[in-house]
Amino acid sequence: MYQFSYAEVQDDSVAEAKDRERQLLDRSINLLTAAREKGPQSIEAAQAIHFLNRVWSAFVEDLGSPENELPKELRANLISIGLWLLREGEEVRQGRSENFDGLIEVSQIIRDGIQ
């Protein structure tokens, strides 16, 4: 029989959560890439922006939670980035922007920074 310390289980949970976050960002990046190729008025664009909104709304809510253990300054910076992504996504959705490249690049930077 295996016995795990609380710290080992907690480390596994954190690692799993980070892996899920990377997977969500990968999915968002893939959708945004397809949307960029099809154009801002495509169904792919609508799907990509909808997914981005869901992901970043959840991230911002979690980052704003007092239970989130990231350093306060990092949380504030990530919230700012998330709000920018949400605003820029809305600009694309409204047809006022075609900045898929910016959405993709920022998402890649955040994904690559998850350790």
Residue at 92 is within a domain: yes
pLDDT digit of tens for each residue in the chain (115 aa)?
A: 445 444 443 455 888 989 999 999 999 999 999 999 999 999 999 999 999 999 999 999 999 999 999 999 999 999 999 999 999 999 999 999 999 999 999 999 999 999 8
C-alpha distances (whole Å) from 31 to each of 25, 43, 50, 51 are: 10, 11, 10, 8
Is there a domain that residue 102 lies in? Answer: yes
- Site of tokens 């959405």: 103
Cα 58 to chain centroid, rounded? 9
Asked if residue 49 belongs to a domain, the reply is: no
68 occurs within a structural domain: yes
The count of domains in the chain is: 1
Asked, for residue 14, whether it belongs to a domain, the answer is: no
As given in the structure block, the two tokens for residue 92 are 């694309």
Quote the pLDDT of residue 14.
83
Which of 56, 49, 53, 11 is closest to 32 using CA atoms? 49
pTM of the model: 0.87
Domain assignment of residue 93, yes or no: yes
Note the pLDDT of residue 9. Answer: 39
Q: pLDDT at position 12, please?
A: 57
In a domain, 25, yes or no: no
Full residue range of the structural domain in which residue 87 is found: 54-115
**Residue 82 covered by a domain:** yes
